[in-house]
Structure 1
Amino acid sequence: MPHRVASHLGEFDVRERLAPLPAWLSQIAFAIFCLGVEVLLRLGINAAAPGSAPFAVIYPAVLAATLFAGWQSGLLVLVISELAAWYFVIPEQMSFRLANTADAPRMAVIFFTGLLVIGLAEIFRQATQNNNRMRKAQLEEQALLLREVDHRIKNNFAMVTGLIDMQRRRSADETVKAALSEVLARVDSFGRAHQHLYHDPRNVGSVAMREYIEGLCDALAQALTLRGAITLSCSADEGRMDRDRAVSIGLLINELVTNAAKHAFVGRDTGTVDVSLRRSADGWVLRVEDDGVGLEAAGAAKPTQGGLGQRLVDAFVRQAHGALSTESSENGTRVIVELKDAA
């Protein structure tokens, strides 16, 4: 927490905030502001304890001016504060004459102490700003590397899907074609998961689930148009989730939606598949529902319990640390996956 506060202090610069004003004008304006606050503090102290610690408020004003506007602003506050204290506080008041010879060394000590405060504050400010610049440069470099890796992975997915599709087209065996089509769809689902996940270099460890699910469903909806008039609707609550878990959920949605489109609407040309991801008291709940004929009526067309599709669904549920349950009737099928937050 202290490190974050220090970082924010170093990032704040009055000269940048007041741009396009000239830097020197911004420094003078902020020095005047600090002097005004100093006067108000002095009046408040005098009201509570008249005459006590006449120079105490100089140092906070000098420190603030240096931290937020640079050493020039801090020096201006110090000089004006010293002259004001000399003229209004030290006897003889309303004069620059010194009635007490000990006041001259005291004024010198206050001035050099103020210079020390300025020096230390400027060193801190410069060090913090240098650290922030280095951190930003590292983030930019990481973003560049991430974009490069992302580009290469996209090319690899495109190459793999292209090879599978070419082999599928060349095959004369319909069984082989069907198997390669399923492989192609699953490889494509991995590609879509990557496309929607690895595009934000600031949050590579977590995923904004609403944006991710909606983007994934848009791609699935386009694929479903090839299967007839099957409508896909999706909705998701706002929230972020661990990247690896989000990948598993995306692949699970892809498998469940694809299975529903292939098997739920036997003897029908139309149907609806609804996907929802909602926050719950202890995590998330994923629902994939269809208004098809139900598992029993579609039994002949459904993959076997030990088939690849079912094994993939089970694997994705385990990877997402979820618990799956299925409800089915002649009005359709509902798959519910409860995803509890990590303890």
Structure 2
Amino acid sequence: MQRLAQFDVSRQFVTRPGQIAAQIVFGAVCAAAMIGVRAAVDLFAPVSGPFALIYPTVLLATLYGHWRAGVIAFVVTFLWAWYFVLPAQGSFLFTEASDPARVVINAIAALIVLIFAEAFRRVARSTVEEIRQSADRRLAQLAELEHRTKNNFALVASLLEIQKRRVSDTALHPMLDDAAGRVRTFADAYSSLSIEHSDGEDVDMRPYLDQLLDRIERAAVPDHVSLFREIDAVQLSRETAVAIGLYLNEAISNSLKYAFPDERPGKIGVFFQHRPEGWRLTIDDNGVGIEGEPSKGGGLGSNLLQAFSAQAGARHSAGPTLGGFRTEMNALREAVA
């Protein structure tokens, strides 16, 4: 219905003569269609309502073909009905004294339909154009906001690096490095959620997470660790996508930091599964397990993962597995019920 409301026979033509020709042809086609329907009606109800079908014909021709199509449809169908349907058939003569007034009234009524249909078409087109321009402005503002957010994160990380150089106590350097690293991962998550991922409110999760994981792999994953992924195709809201990206960044950062000490070789698997009842994000590693995971007691990393999962409307869980460690965010309805 929405596509039908925006249909315009002349929109596909670039030149003005081509558009006018398309409108005239469309009006003639509408008139021919009405004549065909009227001829079928005459088989069982001859001469009844000679001008009745003109009104919907003029309305449709004007709405989808502009006023020129409406005028063509009006002239052709009105003259045809007057000549072939209105008594006396086969002539423009009148058999009853009231016929001239009836013809004039029907002509005026059809012209009123044409005028109001054209006015409505113009207002509707103007409204759609305003909505489109407003949407374009909002998308541009969103892109600018995301760009500024990324830059602000980068600025905060740079300030932390500067502060690190000013602090003489080397024991504080790892904590400042950790804070700067987390801020940079936030910047990467927002950078990956660029405007091209979605034309509307939802985000395609497969290209979004693929791009985010590619960034992490290039920037942070050492040669002795391999990263692989299995990501289902689904669209989620932008707010949920941001939370999932931040959660994924934090979980992989924890695995890289704690699961593979002394250049221990290993693997990290990322699995994003979507089902009718919800979705699940799982990060598995085959590292040292609980021995290398300090967030069990509620550290900053664990608190961040809890916060990101709450933002996504999901439940966070983490713990050792057979030969490794698993971090999971679960938004399956059966799991959160």
Conservation of the 8 A alpha-carbon contact between 2:50 and 2:86? no
The SS at the match of 2:29 is helix
Q: 1-side partners of 2:161 and 2:90: how far apart?
A: 93
Aligned match for 1:312, one of 298, 304, 311: 304
1:194-222 CA-to-partner distances (Å, cap 9, x unmatched) read 22235259756433222221121111111
Residue segments in structure 1 that go unaligned for 5+ positions in a row = none
Conservation of the 8 A alpha-carbon contact between 2:59 and 2:114? yes
1:35-91 CA-to-partner distances (Å, cap 9, x unmatched) read 121122213323454443232211111001110111121111111111111221223
Matched with 2:130 is 134
Conservation of the 8 A alpha-carbon contact between 2:9 and 2:64? yes
Aligned match for 1:251, one of 246, 250, 265: 246
Q: 1-side partners of 2:11 and 2:305: how far apart?
A: 54
Question: Aligned AA for 2:12?
Answer: R
The SS at the match of 1:74 is helix
Matched with 2:215 is 219
The alpha-carbon deviation at position 273 of structure 1 amounts to 0.7
TM-score by length of 1: 0.87
The alpha-carbon deviation at position 281 of structure 1 amounts to 3.5
Aligned match for 1:104, one of 90, 100, 103: 100
- Taking the TM superposition and a 5 Å limit, the aligned residue runs for 1:1-343 are 5=1, 8=3, 11-20=6-15, 22-169=18-165, 171=167, 173-199=169-195, 205-225=201-221, 227-295=222-290, 298-299=291-292, 302-303=294-295, 305-326=297-318, 328-340=320-332
Q: 1-side partners of 2:62 and 2:119: how far apart?
A: 10
In the superposition, relative to structure 1, how do residues 57 and 151 fare at CA in structure 2: closer, same or farther (>3 Å)? same
The alpha-carbon deviation at position 174 of structure 1 amounts to 4.2
The SS at the match of 1:277 is strand
Q: For this pair of structures, how many residues does the alignment match?
A: 334
Bigger drift between 305-314 and 60-69 goes to 305-314
The SS at the match of 1:14 is coil
Question: Aligned AA for 2:162?
Answer: M
In the superposition, relative to structure 1, how do residues 15 and 88 fare at CA in structure 2: closer, same or farther (>3 Å)? same
In the superposition, relative to structure 1, how do residues 22 and 264 fare at CA in structure 2: closer, same or farther (>3 Å)? same
Q: In percent, how many aligned pairs have the same letter?
A: 33
Question: Aligned AA for 1:271?
Answer: G
The SS at the match of 2:271 is strand
In the superposition, relative to structure 1, how do residues 338 and 143 fare at CA in structure 2: closer, same or farther (>3 Å)? closer
Conservation of the 8 A alpha-carbon contact between 1:231 and 1:271? yes
